[in-house]
Amino acid sequence: MTYRVEEILRLIDHSTKEEDEQIRAAFLFAENAHKDQKRNSGEPYFSHVFETAKILAELGMGASTVIAGLLHDAVEDVNVSIDEIKEKFGNEIAFIVDGVTKLGQVRYRGADKHNESLRKLFVATSEDMRVLLVKLADRLHNMRTLKHVSLEKQKRIATETLEIYAPVAYRLGIRKLSRELEDLSFPYVYPEEYAVMKKELSEKRFSTEGLEKFLKSIKKALAREGLTHIKTDFRVKGTYSLYKKIAAKDKNLENIYDLAAVRILVDKPEECYHVLGIVHKEWRPLPRRIKDYIAFPKPNGYRALHTTVFTGEGDVVEVQIKTYAMHRHAEYGFASHISYKGGKSADAQTLEWVQSLLTSRKDSNVPLKSTDTPTWIRELVEYHNDTEDNEIFKKGLQKDFFNVRIFVFSPKGDVVDLPITSTPLDFAYAIHSDIGNHMTGAKVNGKLASLDTKLKNGDIVEIMTRQNAAPSRKWLEYTRTSTARRHILRFLAKQKKSRQ
């Protein structure tokens, strides 16, 4: 099998000549770096980074992100140094590759560790969203080829995908990714439930031919009314989202009407209503199934007109009518904001994303529970609720949270978020008061550090303890957080009392 860089270039819309050259260079560099490696499937390892880059290009990403996709395993797997990437491809790409490598070192350790892993995703994300997108594309390709790895690994990877990656993709609004990640994971994580769903669906599911026939007659009806610049397609509901819907609403397949949906894409919002009128004239709609999400968008920003009609062939099909722009936003969400030349800083991207999180937080489909939400996101929400003026909110958001919080790792990879100028003492108390109260010293990034060291974003902090160690009054000068201060004062007070 040979891989051709043209396949990637063709998918990128607006690249410059220089960018194309850089993509070619990255393609050759990665091909060479991975030349001695094979995947479990027996294919060259390069196929994986090649497909990852293609997924990113399909998502509408620009040259830098696609190049980072080609290079994303070079540092971790074949010992190319990050400096070499920097030298050959520049700081921006090296930064993304480095972020992906760091994220790759995060291990999922069962559902109870869910929070930490999510937090790590958020940490990487708060620096540059593109890191997260490369990671999602990487995961999607690994899921597509999961049948080649051991059963034990299949289960672990698929569970992690279902619990972390798919919800994150959903939250970013990239439905196209979240749907595929869910459907690929489902059979590995819940094999029995999957088998039941598959059997029921095979008895019920619409035939492709039937839907295509219906679409043809829709197109004909629209053409008669002069609507020709339209695009149609259909989607069959994902097995996993169907399973969730049935489980959550205690329904059965008989009363789920969006098993199959056809989409009609038009240029302008007003044409959506025109199309709806034509559809209703030709096919009888089901009552109470007509939804105007253009006038009343869903909390997550989704816009479209929905109706459900009898096809005349004994089927009931949902019809979704939207503009091309609405469709792109629904399928690609966040990715559609940061595509190739957004010209936006990582901060601005993050800001936009967090705001979309805030406005969608009441969406019951979002599988993140409030207890799973990182503290800093929760603080943002509380802050938002206290602030009436959106402009003030925006400013405060940037200033107070992205510039004054840092994320620090334990050697095991757990993340603690702290205010800037926090010290190892703050970190120790943030983990547990017992650790703080018995602390004797700390290592920051493997080196011994004094207790008043100012920690930086991304530092790995190891706390050393001894059973008979105890806090001193001096420590109060070395702490930034009220948590640490409170514990130290409490300890000192107790000590005083026991001495009396």
Residues making contact with Mn ion (CB under 5 A): 73, 138
Catalytic, out of 20, 77, 84, 98: 77
Looking at the Cβ atoms of 128 and 417, the one nearer to Mn ion is 128
> 44 or 374: whose CB is closer to Mn ion?
44
Active site residue 163: no
Q: Any idea what the Cα angle at residue 489 is, between residues 492 and 455, rounded to 5°? A: 115
| Full DSSP string of 298-346 | -TT----EEEEEE-SSS-EEEEEEEEHHHHHHHHHHHHHHSSTT----H
59 class by beta-carbon count within 10 Å (0-12 exposed, 13-18 middle, 19+ buried): buried
Per the CB < 8 A criterion, the answer to whether 89 and 22 are in contact is yes
Q: Which is nearer to Mn ion, 138 or 459 (CB)?
A: 138
- Distance of closest approach, residue 350 Cβ to Mn ion, in angstroms: 24
Residue nearest to Mn ion (CB): 138
- Asked if 292 is an active-site residue, the reply is no
**Residue 50 beta carbon to Mn ion: minimum distance, rounded to whole angstroms:** 11
| Closest distance to Mn ion from the beta carbon of 463 (Å) | 32
Considering the candidates 20, 43, 58, 76, report the single residue annotated as catalytic: 76
The CB-of-77 to Mn ion minimum distance in angstroms stands at 8
- By C-beta, is 95 or 240 nearer to Mn ion? 95
What is the nearest approach in angstroms of Mn ion to the Cβ of residue 377? 27
DSSP 266-284: ESSHHHHHHHHHHHHHHSP
Say if CB 307 and CB 276 are below 8 A apart. Answer: yes
Closest to Mn ion by CB, 79 vs 500, is 79
Residues 283 and 31: their CA atoms lie apart, in Å, by 54
Phi/psi at 251 (nearest 5 deg)? -105, 175
The single-letter DSSP state of residue 286 is P
**3 state SS of 212:** helix
Between the two ends of the chain, the Cα-to-Cα distance in Å is 81
Nearer to Mn ion, 73 or 128 (CB): 73
Least distance to Mn ion, CB of residue 33, Å: 13
Q: Which amino acid is at 28?
A: L
Report, as residue numbers or ranges, the catalytic residues: 76-77
